[in-house]
C-alpha cells in the first residue's frame, strides 16, 4: 500500500488518490431553519430532505462516488430480460474476485437476508453472529428464530486498542453449539465490518476459525460481505500474518472457506444492488425459486442493468488497495481530530464512519430519552450535518413492550467513499466540538409516532422541553450571522 509522507510533518493529512471531475452544489440553511426542518422531520434524520442537508453522513449505502470506469461501463448495459450479457459480465467479475460460480441477484442486502431467512430459518432456530444488524435480526425473528450475539468483550468497550473488535468469541460459539445443538442452528452469520458497534473489523484468522467450527459441526457458514472492503483494508494493515498478502489473496482465502456469501452492492461495489453467491449448488437451488418470486428474473433480480455493469467494475476496484483505503483514512482523520478535542469516540477508528459515544457525550441522559437520537438532531441543528442514530431507537422493543436498550448509544457519521473533501471533514469536526462544549444544552426526545418494526426508519419524535431553542440561541451568540 502506497505511503506518501509530507515534508512538513505538521501538514500530514490523508491524501486523496483520485481527482474530482464532477461536482454537486450544496446548501446550508440558517440555523433557525435547520431547527424547523428537524422538527418537521420528527427529529428523525431519515426524514430530512436532502436539499436541506449540507453534509449527508447518514450512510455509505448507495451514496459512494462512482469511478470514471464504472460510468463508462454503464453505457454498454444489455437490458434484455433474459440471457443478458450484462449478467454474464457480472458473473465473470464475481467468479474472478470470490472464486464462486453460482450467483442469485437481489435488489440489495436486506433482500438477500429475506431469501436466507425464508429458506433456512424455522421457529425455534438460533442464528449465532458476531453482532446483529437491524434488518438481519428482523428477518430472522419474523420467521420465529432468534439471534445470539457472540462478539468478543472488547467489541462493546468504546475505547481500547484491540485491532479487531468485531471478532467472534470462539469459546462462546462452541459453547452455544453444544447447548442448543447444531440441528437448531441453520447457519452462523459473520458480519464483516460490524456495523452497529462502530464499523469494527474481524481478523482473517478469526473468520477462518469460525468457518472451521461450522464445518466441524455441519453448520452452514454465511458471510455478510457488505462492509468487506473496509474489513479487507484493516486485515491488510493490522493483521501481521497478512501484511504481505494482496487484497485479492486475502479475499480468496476467506471466500474459499465460506459456504455462502451475500452482500449489498450499495456498499460493496460502489453501486446499487446485491446478491448471494456460493460454490454449493444445492444451497443455491434451495433459494433459487424465491428470486423470481420476490425480486425478479435470475438475470437481474430487481437490479437495474446499468447498476449491474457498475458493480462488475466496482468489485474489481475493491481489489485495489488505493481505492479501499480512502474511506478508512478519512474516518481515521475525523476520529483523530475529535478525540484530540476530547469528544468521546469509538476507538480504534473502524470502517463505515466515525462513531460518537453518545452515552458519554450526554452522560446524564437516560436510555429512554434516546441520547444518540437527541445528539443526531442537535448536530443537524448545529451544522446541517445528517448523521445516523445507532442506539436504542435502532433496536426493536421486547415482546412485552419494554425497551431493549442498546449496548452502545452511537451517533454514526458515515464517510461515503470519494465524496467529501478534507475541508468538509474539518468543518464536521469543528461543529461537533462546538456541540460538545455546549452539550449541557442538549435534552432528550420522546415518541410521537412509533412504528412496530424498524421504527428508526420512519418513526417520529419530539424534543422534551425547549432545549433546541436554547441551542439555536447559543449558536447565534457564538457565530453571529454565520450559517
Cβ contacts of 391 within 8 Å, gap of 6 or more: 358, 370, 371, 372, 373, 406, 408, 409, 410, 411
Query: What SS3 class is residue 343?
Result: coil
Say if CB 175 and CB 128 are below 8 A apart: no
Cell of 374: 437527541
**CA distances in angstroms from 450 to 87, 92, 140, 275, 384, listed in the order given:** 41, 45, 21, 31, 25
**CA distances in angstroms from 421 to 16, 77, 174, 330, 331, listed in the order given:** 9, 31, 45, 9, 12
CA-to-CA distance for 269 and 309, rounded, in angstroms? Answer: 10
Kind and range of the H or E run holding 251: helix 247-255
The owner of cell 450544496 is 26
Active site residues: 81, 133-134, 224, 267, 390, 456
Say if CB 390 and CB 412 are below 8 A apart: yes
Query: What SS3 class is residue 197?
Result: helix
Query: What SS3 class is residue 224?
Result: strand
Q: Where are the alpha helices (DSSP H) in 303-395?
A: 305-317, 321-324, 326-340, 358-361, 371-383
CA-to-CA distance for 359 and 406, rounded, in angstroms? Answer: 11
Amino acid at each position: 500500500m502506497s505511503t506518501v509522507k509530507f515534508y512538513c510533518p505538521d501538514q500530514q493529512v490523508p491524501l486523496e488518490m483520485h481527482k474530482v471531475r464532477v461536482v454537486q452544489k450544496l446548501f446550508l440553511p440558517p440555523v433557525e431553519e435547520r431547527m424547523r426542518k428537524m422538527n418537521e422531520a420528527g427529529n428523525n434524520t431519515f426524514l430530512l430532505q436532502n436539499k436541506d442537508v449540507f453534509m449527508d453522513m447518514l450512510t455509505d449505502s448507495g451514496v459512494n462516488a462512482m469511478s470514471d470506469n464504472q460510468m463508462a461501463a454503464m453505457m454498454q448495459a444489455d437490458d434484455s430480460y433474459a440471457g443478458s450479457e450484462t449478467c454474464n459480465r457480472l458473473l465473470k467479475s464475481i467468479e474472478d474476485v470470490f472464486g464462486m460460480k453460482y450467483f442469485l441477484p437481489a435488489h440489495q442486502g436486506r433482500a438477500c437476508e429475506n431469501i436466507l431467512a425464508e429458506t433456512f430459518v424455522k421457529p425455534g432456530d438460533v442464528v449465532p453472529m458476531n453482532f446483529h444488524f437491524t434488518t438481519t435480526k428482523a428477518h430472522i425473528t419474523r420467521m420465529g428464530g432468534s439471534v445470539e450475539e457472540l462478539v468478543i468483550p472488547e467489541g462493546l468497550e468504546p475505547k481500547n486498542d484491540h485491532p479487531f473488535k468485531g471478532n467472534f468469541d470462539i469459546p462462546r460459539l462452541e459453547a452455544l453449539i453444544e447447548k442448543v445443538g447444531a440441528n437448531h442452528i441453520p447457519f452462523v452469520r459473520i458480519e464483516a465490518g460490524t456495523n452497529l458497534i462502530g464499523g469494527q473489523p474481524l481478523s482473517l484468522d478469526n473468520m477462518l476459525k469460525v468457518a472451521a467450527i461450522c464445518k466441524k459441526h455441519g453448520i452452514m457458514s454465511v458471510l455478510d460481505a457488505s462492509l468487506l472492503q473496509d474489513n479487507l483494508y484493516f486485515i491488510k494493515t493490522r493483521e501481521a500474518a497478512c501484511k504481505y498478502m494482496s487484497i485479492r489473496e486475502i479475499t480468496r482465502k476467506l471466500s474459499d472457506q465460506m459456504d455462502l456469501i451475500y452482500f449489498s452492492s450499495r456498499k460493496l461495489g460502489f453501486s446499487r444492488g446485491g446478491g448471494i453467491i456460493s460454490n454449493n449448488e444445492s444451497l443455491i437451488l434451495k433459494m433459487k425459486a424465491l428470486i423470481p418470486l420476490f425480486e425478479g428474473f435470475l438475470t437481474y433480480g430487481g437490479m437495474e442493468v446499468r447498476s449491474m455493469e457498475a458493480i462488475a467494475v466496482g468489485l474489481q476496484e475493491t481489489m485495489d488497495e488505493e481505492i479501499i483505503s480512502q474511506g478508512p483514512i478519512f474516518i481515521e482523520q475525523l476520529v483523530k481530530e475529535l478525540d484530540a478535542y476530547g469528544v468521546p469516540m469509538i476507538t480504534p477508528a473502524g470502517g463505515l464512519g466515525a462513531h460518537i459515544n453518545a452515552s458519554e457525550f450526554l452522560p446524564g441522559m437516560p436510555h429512554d430519552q434516546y441520547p444518540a437520537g437527541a445528539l443526531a438532531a442537535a448536530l443537524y441543528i448545529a451544522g446541517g450535518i445528517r448523521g445516523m442514530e445507532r442506539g436504542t431507537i435502532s433496536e426493536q422493543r421486547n415482546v412485552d413492550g419494554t425497551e431493549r436498550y442498546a449496548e452502545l448509544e452511537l451517533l454514526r457519521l458515515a464517510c461515503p467513499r470519494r465524496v467529501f473533501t478534507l475541508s468538509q471533514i474539518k468543518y464536521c469536526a469543528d461543529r461537533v466540538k462546538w456541540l460538545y462544549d455546549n452539550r449541557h444544552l442538549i435534552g432528550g426526545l420522546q415518541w410521537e409516532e412509533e412504528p412496530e418494526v424498524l421504527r428508526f426508519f420512519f418513526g417520529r419524535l419530539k424534543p422534551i422541553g425547549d432545549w433546541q431553542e436554547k441551542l439555536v440561541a447559543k449558536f447565534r451568540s457564538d457565530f453571529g450571522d454565520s450559517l
